[in-house]
Amino acid sequence: MRVYPVIPVVIVVLKVLLVPSNGQGPFAVNTGRYRYTAKRDNLVLSDRKTEIWAEVYYPRNIALTVGKLPLVVFLHGNHATCGRVLSDGTRSDSSCQYTSSGTCPSGFVVAPSHEGYRYVGIPLASYGYVVVSINANRGITCGGGVSEDGGLNLARGRLVLRHLALWSKWNRLGGAPGTLGFDPKRKINFQQVGLMGHSRGGEGMRAALTQYRDAGTPWKRLIGRMLIRAVFEIGPVDGQTSRTLNAYGVASMILLPSCDGDVSDLQGMHVFDRQFLNIGSRPYLPKGTILVNGAIHNYYNTEWQGPDSTSCG
């Protein structure tokens, strides 16, 4: 089984997002998941409960692979965490009750924002990637900010690192839950890690990269040696924390929807400008931005079923 390094993930994701085809690679794909009881985790947020929950896409014949597979992690943005299913079968997400309580109002269901990138995750897995799509609903999504982290994007980054620490443990020692569908022990290449974030998830992924690199960070001990190769952002925010968060030293691609009614000032351009001007940051690595004419912010997540742009429908 041939697998692909992480830097070309930028090309594969762009193909899926921009080219109207099935985008499938040579391998059949399985879907797994894992979810742990919400608790206070001082390394993520000390003042509230958060939750470890994700959906995972991986090559079906992973047990037969020789060598280790690259790992790609997805993170959704800010959104209501509960929705009501309407008579036409669509869902209207309008409540944030799950964020603080872990429950939704009567007649509502939890908004599965992490499932909204299957159209990208499954094609990536068909090319030999293990793809983890994180649910950040509890404590973070639609939650109130904290000092120096008004958008909770530093917290988002730490949640991503907590997931990566879990995968590192499974990769070294085993012990993954049966709901994952496969045993990742000695199957993950932590020298080939990619990150993809949408909206606040974009800045959250830059926060994960930055906080992993910080001096004195606990994450290097918990995760071990890890090399993040690429960060892909869709309609990202920028500047919602006290820190300026960059993706220096990795391949960087930023997709901007031209009809973005949520991040209407296209803050991702600031991120690209900093990347482009930082000529000392491994200049041979890809750094790019693409403006998609007519694209709407919300519709890059198939679970966000209402438009955000009044001018583009």
**Segment 174-205, tens digit of pLDDT:** 999 999 999 999 999 999 999 999 999 999 99
Asked whether residue 306 is domain-assigned, the answer is: no
For residue 65, name the pLDDT band (cuts at 50, 70, 90): confident
In a domain, 86, yes or no: yes
β-pairing, 228-234 with 251-257? parallel
CATH number at residue 285: 3.40.50.1820
Question: DSSP for 87-146?
Answer: TTS-EEEEE-HHHHHS---TT-EE--GGGGGHHHHHHHHHTT-EEEEE--TTTTTTPPPB
Specify if 187 maps to a domain. yes
**Residue 127 and residue 62 in contact, taking contact as beta carbons nearer than 8 Å:** no
Residues 30 and 8: their CA atoms lie apart, in Å, by: 22
Q: Is residue 292 part of a domain?
A: yes
312 found inside a domain? no
The confidence score (pLDDT) of residue 21 equals: 55
| Domain extent at residue 109 | 9-300
Residues 211, 195, 147: CA angle, nearest 5 degrees: 35
- pLDDT bracket for residue 19 (50, 70, 90): low
In-domain check, residue 19: yes
Lowest mean pLDDT among 40-49, 62-71, 234-243, 246-255: 62-71
- In the chain, the number of structural domains is 1
pLDDT for the residue 9: 61
Task: Please give the model's pTM, rounded to 2 decimal places.
Answer: 0.94
With respect to residue 170, please indicate whether it lies within any of the assigned structural domains: yes
Q: Is residue 4 included in any domain, yes or no?
A: no
Least confident of 3-7, 38-42, 116-120, 163-167: 3-7
User: Which CA distances in Å does 22 have to 6, 55, 197, 291?
Assistant: 21, 21, 22, 22
